């Protein structure tokens, strides 16, 4: 189990494989169907060219997100039948608490309905108005909760993360010089905490190294600053450490995960990703006083502190999902499938974020459509075009997702203008990946005929979910 997986060559080299296969077989299927081109054209127009506003039944292959879209195992389904639906003190709560403590090391645990419930509470509990929150690139919901609590997010990720063609093995790393400069400039007392995520979603699912988190721990100790982790895809991050970082080739994903968490003070989790469940999340901390505050907050916003918005059966499936997500064969096939799709696109010279990350392939829309300016939303355009071509749904991760600067009110115009093809865990086959690859190739071949979009409706918060566009 702990041996390094040599079925994949190390990064920077072409993905090479002797055939590998998923460590499971399928015992239930859900039919999907492709609409006609005329129906797809109508559906995407009705959705305001926003893939979030499509009806799922109009989608053929759904790569919108890996969040809550995984297939559960027979073990998880049978655990659901053992749900203890007591309002207070459910047996499943205690099992989940013990599982999180075992796999993530933190002392205290608070369940939440999903990741943003946890982000809301930690932000409100610890950020004072006007404090800075440095982090390794923004994430949409994380930054919004930090801002709504009065914080000011500052991106301190290494420069390579903003460069789609850099093949740095740990593009999720924090730049210690940028962080030190911020601390010296603003004063340690004005830093709420350092906010890190592994892997970094908006950078392309890119990992942080163990060395980086150890160095960060030392820096935070020097200035007495807390270090908090978004652990949503941290098991995937552990896979990359095992594959790429010296000294970890023979350490299990489970042990890498524990070691990484041990350098941080707290974590929040959207269990809808790594943990292979359709709903759920949590917060876990080492500080008892903070725990007491969070345990009191959870009853206001989520539910009693022994269910936090989840049913007993949800907690049962989640605890089992934690055990499954660190399985070496599971993780190798999960990342292997993402790499399979990426390698198809690389062979056609289609511009994608390199190296291929953990949960998704990210198309570089600026390079895909160099003739579409960023205020005509090239990544949103690409997502709409892909659906139109083939019924494949993906997600914009560019100018629309970045939103507006709260001070100037202008578009933020992020360096990365990406369309994300996110692979749900244990859901699609290699043949589906072939279809997706061919669909992207068809859009690429038609790129010079493609025009951008105009935003015609913009909601105040997290606009990418509900904004509407018209074709130019």
With beta carbons less than 8 A apart as the criterion, state whether 237 and 215 touch.
no
Active-site residue, from 58, 62, 66, 230: 230
With beta carbons less than 8 A apart as the criterion, state whether 363 and 444 touch.
no
Q: Per the omega criterion (within 30 degrees of 0), is the bond before 109 cis?
A: no
Active-site residue, from 17, 74, 75, 87: 87
Smaller CB distance to ligand PM9: residue 160 or 302?
Answer: 302
Cα distances from 226 to residues 95, 221, 296, in angstroms, run 28, 8, 21
**Number of helical H runs and strand E runs in the chain:** 16, 14
Alpha-carbon distance of 457 to 49, in angstroms, equals: 11
Smaller CB distance to ligand PM9: residue 83 or 115?
Answer: 115
With beta carbons less than 8 A apart as the criterion, state whether 17 and 7 touch.
yes
With beta carbons less than 8 A apart as the criterion, state whether 463 and 396 touch.
no
Active-site residue, from 397, 425, 426, 463: 397
3-state secondary structure of 233: coil
Which structure tokens are listed for 146?
A: 């930090």
Smaller CB distance to ligand PM9: residue 206 or 270?
Answer: 270
- Taking the complex as a whole, how short is the minimal distance between the CB of residue 406 and ligand PM9, in angstroms? 18
Q: Is 273 a catalytic residue?
A: yes
3-state secondary structure of 52: helix
Alpha-carbon distance of 74 to 87, in angstroms, equals: 26
Angle at Cα 69 formed by Cα 297 and Cα 9, nearest 5°?
110
Residue nearest to ligand PM9 (CB): 115
- Taking the complex as a whole, how short is the minimal distance between the CB of residue 212 and ligand PM9, in angstroms? 17
Smaller CB distance to ligand PM9: residue 146 or 374?
Answer: 146
Cα distances from 119 to residues 270, 293, 403, 438, in angstroms, run 9, 14, 18, 38
Smaller CB distance to ligand PM9: residue 115 or 372?
Answer: 115
Active-site residue, from 143, 226, 254, 273: 273
Residue 316: closest CA among 139, 51, 83 = 83
Q: Is 457 a catalytic residue?
A: no
Smaller CB distance to ligand PM9: residue 256 or 283?
Answer: 283
Q: What DSSP assignment string belongs to 98-165?
A: HHHHHHH--SEEEEESSHHHHHHHHHHHHPPTT-EEEESS--HHHHHHHHHTT-EEEE-B-GGGG-TT
Smaller CB distance to ligand PM9: residue 200 or 453?
Answer: 200
Smaller CB distance to ligand PM9: residue 195 or 306?
Answer: 195
Alpha-carbon distance of 79 to 323, in angstroms, equals: 12
- Taking the complex as a whole, how short is the minimal distance between the CB of residue 141 and ligand PM9, in angstroms? 5
3-state secondary structure of 443: helix
Q: Is 397 a catalytic residue?
A: yes
- Taking the complex as a whole, how short is the minimal distance between the CB of residue 324 and ligand PM9, in angstroms? 18
Active-site residue, from 139, 248, 307, 377: 139
Q: Is 362 a catalytic residue?
A: no
Q: State how beta strands 152-155 and 132-135 pair.
A: parallel
- Taking the complex as a whole, how short is the minimal distance between the CB of residue 116 and ligand PM9, in angstroms? 3
Residue bearing tokens 């960060």: 216
Alpha-carbon distance of 102 to 167, in angstroms, equals: 34
Active-site residue, from 112, 140, 142, 381: 140
Torsion sign, CA atoms 287, 290, 294, 296: positive
Q: Is 230 a catalytic residue?
A: yes
- Taking the complex as a whole, how short is the minimal distance between the CB of residue 272 and ligand PM9, in angstroms? 5
Which structure tokens are listed for 452?
A: 């951008």
With beta carbons less than 8 A apart as the criterion, state whether 469 and 380 touch.
yes
Smaller CB distance to ligand PM9: residue 198 or 378?
Answer: 198
Q: Is 45 a catalytic residue?
A: no
- Taking the complex as a whole, how short is the minimal distance between the CB of residue 4 and ligand PM9, in angstroms? 26
- Taking the complex as a whole, how short is the minimal distance between the CB of residue 232 and ligand PM9, in angstroms? 4
**Helical (H) or strand (E) element with 300:** helix 288-301
- Taking the complex as a whole, how short is the minimal distance between the CB of residue 230 and ligand PM9, in angstroms? 5
Q: Is 139 a catalytic residue?
A: yes
The count of other CB atoms within 10 Å of the CB of residue 222 is 11
Binding site for ligand PM9 (CB under 6 A): 65, 67, 114-116, 139-142, 197, 201, 230, 232, 270, 272, 281
Q: Annotated active-site positions, please?
A: 87, 139-140, 230, 273, 397, 464
């Amino acid at each position: 189990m702990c041996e390094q997986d040599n079925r994949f060559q190390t990064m920077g080299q072409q993905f090479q494989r002797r055939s590998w296969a998923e460590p499971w077989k399928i015992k239930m299927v859900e039919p999907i169907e492709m609409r006609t081109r005329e129906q797809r054209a109508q559906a995407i127009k009705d959705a305001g060219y926003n893939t979030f506003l499509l009806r799922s039944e109009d989608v053929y292959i759904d790569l919108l997100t890996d969040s809550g879209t995984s297939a559960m195992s027979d073990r998880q389904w049978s655990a659901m039948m053992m749900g203890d639906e007591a309002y207070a003190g459910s047996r499943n709560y205690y099992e989940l608490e013990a599982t999180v403590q075992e796999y993530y090391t933190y002392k205290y645990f608070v369940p939440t309905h999903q990741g943003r419930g946890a982000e809301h509470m930690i932000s409100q509990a610890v950020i004072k108005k006007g404090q800075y929150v440095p982090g390794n690139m923004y994430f949409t919901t994380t930054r919004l909760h930090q801002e709504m609590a009065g914080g000011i997010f500052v991106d301190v990720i290494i420069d390579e993360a903003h460069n789609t063609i850099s093949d740095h093995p740990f593009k999720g790393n924090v730049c210690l010089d940028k962080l030190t400069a911020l601390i010296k400039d603003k004063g340690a007392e004005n830093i709420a905490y350092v906010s890190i995520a592994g892997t970094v979603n908006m950078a392309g699912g890119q990992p942080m190294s163990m060395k980086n988190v150890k160095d960060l721990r030392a820096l935070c100790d020097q200035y007495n600053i807390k270090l908090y982790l978004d652990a949503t895809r941290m098991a995937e991050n552990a896979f990359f450490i095992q594959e790429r970082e010296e000294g970890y080739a023979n350490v299990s994903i489970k042990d890498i995960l524990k070691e990484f968490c041990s350098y941080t003070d707290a974590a929040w989790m959207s269990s809808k990703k790594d943990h292979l469940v359709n709903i759920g999340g949590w917060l876990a901390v080492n500080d008892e006083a903070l725990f007491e505050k969070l345990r009191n907050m959870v009853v206001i916003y989520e539910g009693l502190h022994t269910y936090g918005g989840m049913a007993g059966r949800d907690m049962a499936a989640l605890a089992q999902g934690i055990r499954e997500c660190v399985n070496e064969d599971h993780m190798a096939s999960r990342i292997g499938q993402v790499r399979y799709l990426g390698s198809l696109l690389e062979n056609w010279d289609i511009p994608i974020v390199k190296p291929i990350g953990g949960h998704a392939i990210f198309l570089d829309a600026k390079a895909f459509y160099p003739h579409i300016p960023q205020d005509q939303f090239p990544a949103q355009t690409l997502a709409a075009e892909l659906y139109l071509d083939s019924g494949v749904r993906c997600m914009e991760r560019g100018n629309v997702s970045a939103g507006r600067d709260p001070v100037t009110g202008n578009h933020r115009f992020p360096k990365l203008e990406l369309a994300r093809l996110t692979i749900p865990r244990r859901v699609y086959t290699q043949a589906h990946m072939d279809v997706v690859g061919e669909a992207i190739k068809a859009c690429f071949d038609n790129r010079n005929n493609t025009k951008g979009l105009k935003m015609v409706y913009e909601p105040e918060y997290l606009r990418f979910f509900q904004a509407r566009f018209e074709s130019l």
